[in-house]
């Protein structure tokens, strides 16, 4: 396979002032992309300067992804100066970890605003430029906390799983315009993980080992609608599946519970192409023919 070359491409990486975002930005720049380093604080300037010092092209834009107008201004400025936006890596995030019983709803909202609404603001801002040029790559940063749950992270998990739903629909809507949208579920040593794992395990979770996954998801040959997991040099795919299930001629809650083992049997489970495929599957089990989607 040819080496991925991003020469001529323009990338925006949010939350790129440190940690995972910094590694993503550096790798994209090394592969030839012009990179917009978005974050709050001096970290964005430092990373942009690091890219320029290495011979790349970068600019720092300090704004919050929760500010839709500021995000739009960032994208408008990039398009005006560099002519296009090809890649968006939605990486910005915060933590407000507490058990649900102790969690203030203001902290729930803050996490959703940064992770979910921030990604929506950025994706919306680049959507029309990408549609017009008929090329785009968007990466949402989801998490195992959203896919599988994690104690004390109800707000974070809810926001991260919501990004999977956003990805699924944007991938369908963007396909005809050459826009491919995927999710990345990283496991990496960042400041957010300090104190959670022993140091030797943290050292194995080098953020630089996640960034190759980002490069794969923004390449010309990138897939679409993938949930790619990455950490410590390992890479996996996660899927939202549907079991074959059961059909009850006389549905009652008691009958449903009595059939739970059959309902949960994962033999022959599927990955629906769209949400409507659930209805299609259920109607077929009820004996009603329904044509396949185009």
Question: Is residue 156 flagged as an active site residue?
Answer: yes
Q: Residue 216: its pLDDT value, please? A: 98
Q: What are the average pLDDT values for consecutive 10-residue runs of the chain, which has 294 residues?
A: 94 97 98 98 97 98 98 98 98 97 98 98 99 98 97 97 98 98 93 75 93 98 98 97 97 98 98 95 88 57
Q: Do 156 and 146 form a contact (C-beta atoms < 8 A)? A: yes
Could you tell me if residue 81 is inside a domain? yes
Q: Which of 156, 177, 189, 235 is catalytic?
A: 156
Could you tell me if residue 2 is inside a domain? no
Tokens 């979770």, residue?
205
CA 133 to chain centre: 22
Compute the Cα dihedral for 205, 206, 209, 214 and give only its sign.
positive
Boundary of a domain, candidates 238, 257, 273: 238
Q: Name the β-bridge partners of 231.
A: 187, 234
Boundary of a domain, candidates 201, 217, 238: 238
Could you tell me if residue 4 is inside a domain? no
Tokens encoding 161: 């799983």
Could you tell me if residue 25 is inside a domain? yes
| The length of the chain, given as a count of residues | 294
221 DSSP assignment: T
Nearest to 240 by CA among 260, 225, 262: 225
DSSP codes, 234-285: EEEEE---B------SS--HHHHHHTHHHHH--TT-B--SSTHHHHHHHHHH
Q: Name the β-bridge partners of 184.
A: 141, 228
Could you tell me if residue 5 is inside a domain? no
Backbone angles phi, psi at 58, to 5 degrees: -155, 155
Could you tell me if residue 168 is inside a domain? yes
Residues 150 and 54 in one domain: yes
Residues 247 and 179 in one domain: no
| Cα gap 130→123, rounded to integer Å | 10
Q: Residue 193: its pLDDT value, please? A: 67
Could you tell me if residue 191 is inside a domain? yes
Query: Structural domain tally of the chain?
Result: 2
Tokens encoding 50: 């690091």
Backbone angles phi, psi at 11, to 5 degrees: -120, 140
| Cα gap 187→203, rounded to integer Å | 12
Residues 68 and 88 in one domain: yes
Sheet holding 179-187, edge to edge: 58-62, 34-39, 10-14, 87-90, 136-141, 179-187, 227-231, 234-238
Q: Residue 86: its pLDDT value, please? A: 98
Whole-Å CA distances, 242 to 152, 160, 245, 263, 279: 27, 20, 8, 10, 11
Q: Residue 197: its pLDDT value, please? A: 78
Residues 252 and 233 in one domain: no
Residues 273 and 227 in one domain: no
Residues 39 and 144 in one domain: yes
Q: Name the β-bridge partners of 10.
A: 34
Q: Residue 294: its pLDDT value, please? A: 46
Residues 220 and 270 in one domain: no
Q: Residue 286: its pLDDT value, please? A: 93
Residues 212 and 227 in one domain: yes
Nearest to 223 by CA among 120, 284, 137, 114: 137
Could you tell me if residue 1 is inside a domain? no
Residues 166 and 253 in one domain: no
Residues 266 and 174 in one domain: no
Boundary of a domain, candidates 238, 253, 272: 238
Q: Do 265 and 244 form a contact (C-beta atoms < 8 A)? A: yes
CATH number at residue 43: 3.40.50.720
Residues 79 and 199 in one domain: yes
115 DSSP assignment: I
- Print the domain residue range for 284: 241-294
Residues 106 and 173 in one domain: yes
Q: Evaluate if pTM is beyond 0.85.
A: yes
Tokens encoding 46: 């430092």
């Amino acid at each position: 396979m040819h080496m991925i070359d991003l020469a001529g491409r323009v990338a925006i990486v949010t939350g790129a002032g440190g940690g995972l975002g910094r590694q993503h930005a550096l790798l994209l720049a090394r592969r030839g992309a012009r990179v917009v380093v978005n974050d709050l604080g001096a970290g964005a300037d430092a990373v942009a300067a690091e890219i320029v010092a290495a011979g790349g092209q970068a600019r720092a834009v300090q704004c919050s992804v929760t500010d839709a107008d500021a995000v739009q201004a960032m994208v408008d400025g990039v398009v005006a100066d560099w002519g296009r936006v090809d890649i968006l890596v939605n990486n910005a995030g915060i933590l407000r970890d507490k058990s649900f019983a102790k969690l203030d709803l203001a902290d729930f909202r803050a996490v959703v605003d940064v992770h979910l609404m921030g990604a929506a603001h950025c994706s919306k801002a680049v959507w029309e430029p990408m549609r017009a040029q008929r090329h785009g790559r968007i990466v949402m940063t989801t998490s195992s906390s959203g896919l599988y749950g994690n104690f004390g992270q109800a707000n974070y998990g809810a926001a991260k799983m919501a990004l999977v739903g956003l990805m699924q629909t944007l991938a369908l809507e963007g396909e005809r315009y050459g826009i491919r949208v995927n999710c990345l579920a990283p496991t990496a040593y960042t400041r957010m993980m300090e104190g959670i794992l022993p140091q030797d395990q943290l050292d194995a979770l080098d953020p630089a080992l996640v960034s190759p996954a980002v490069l794969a998801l923004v390449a010309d040959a990138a897939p679409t609608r993938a949930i790619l997991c990455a950490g410590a040099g390992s890479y996996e795919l996660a899927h939202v599946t549907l079991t074959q299930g059961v059909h009850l001629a006389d549905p009652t809650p008691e009958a449903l519970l009595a059939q739970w083992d059959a309902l949960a049997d994962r033999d022959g489970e599927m990955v629906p192409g769209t949400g409507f495929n659930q209805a299609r599957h259920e109607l077929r089990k009820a004996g009603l023919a329904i044509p396949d989607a185009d």
